[in-house]
Chains A and B, each alone.
Chain A
Amino acid sequence: MIKVKGLSYVYKDGSVALKNMTLDFNNGNVIGIIGENGAGKSTLFLNIMGILKPGTGEILYKDSQISYDRNYLKNYRKKIGIVFQDPDKQIFFSNVYDDIAFALRNSDIPEDIVKNRVLDALEDTDLLEVQKKPVHFLSYGQKKRVSIAGAMAMDCEIILFDEPSAGLDPSMREKIINIIHNLKSEGKKVIISSHDMDFIYKVTDYIYVLKDGSNVLEGDPSEVFLNDDKLKECGLEQPWLIKIHQNMKVPAFKEEYELYKYWSEINENSNNWNGLQGSPHRD
């Protein structure tokens, strides 16, 4: 639905943030944009949202170039939402409910629909019990989910997540992963920027690797992540399941539990064979 064609962006101070970047978000349902700090991920997102206007190149939505007039952008941003990295910078209200409802009310949606959508979003992000608490009493992870709920309540076709797992503890990270899985199963397109490779490996089905504002590698995560040298060049690391796959000759699993299950099966087999050394091969 969204494509980026030959996009370049230079900031006013002369820093070149994006160079001739071409991406096609029809390649997957949950798409990862990975790259080290300063690779250009956030700048790309701001361009996609129509906040920054590219120097050259174009952003295509449903095969036509997006326009920058107010009305077009207003409708466009009903279809495409974004969750920024720092929750404190995107929550305006002290009250969780009002903050999630904010974008909906700006779109003149009737209040009873607003209410249903907000309550759904609160439920999906597991925030029902804190909805009456003032925002500044919430934990970082809860605030992060408030900002996600704000985007979800808009019922967008596409949601961009800028570094969603940064600064989260393991259980909160797991919650975000679940939210993304749910969005995917609802048929939404999710685009995630991150340098958390394990996170990206777990949730995405197509990835783009950025380096210094250029798109240097793309494809299926389980293929792209095999390319260790290239990843290192980009300042990135393989997900641990891939490292184990490459260095210990076990299959490439997507989930931790699959590896454990596989491993316990091997142990069982080698016990049955009574001392016989079974080479770890999965049938």
Chain B
Amino acid sequence: MDDVVIRTRNLSKEYVRDEFRVVALKNANIEIHRGEFIALMGPSGSGKSTLLHLAAAMDRPSGGDLEVMGSQLNSLSDSEIARWRNRHVGFVFQSFNLIPVLTALENVELPLKLTHLKKGERMQHAATALKLVGLDDRMGHFPRQLSGGQEQRVAIARAIVTDPDILLCDEPTGNLDARSASEVLTLLSRLNKEFGKTIVMVTHDPHAAHFATKVRYIDKGELLPEGQAPEDWKALPN
């Protein structure tokens, strides 16, 4: 059985803003297998987020093919994609992006509102997810009552509550202090090891990359072959 979660062929993205054309991603070819925890690294502006957004079908590619979980995303309509994303993808942002008017529990419940689950089941699932990230004592708290690390763990709970096939994290520790960062990384690593979650994590932090099972580099929109880092990479202050 094919255990490829994401497969891209010559995936490209260019942004056209007014007169300017920016090639954010050039002919990227990548296969991500079930159970992998990949760290995606590269300098700022190299196209890491772009690749992640394309994989989550939050944006449409300008060229090439993208196959996620066996679905050709190009052929789906916007509303089919939204439904597909709800079911198959969990996304974690650098800036947490919790809904401020909802409690931790309600934030985690939110994606389940798009499923057929009843209120009681939704609450139960959300509580389980919060417990998994170690925040079962913070369910009724609002985001502003939580620390950054706690907020990010709630965001991770929200991303995994639908039991997605793949977890995409865009610099999840970018806004966190070292201790909270390592809590979050330990959590992601646990999700990968214990629950077999496939994870792609964009990061600038070499320490963070240690938690991953594999590191891939992007430079100037080009995905470098496995095992290859940009030449000047080591020189970058991190």
- Chains A and B form a bound pair: no
Instruction: Mark A residues whose CB is within 8 Å of B.
Output: none
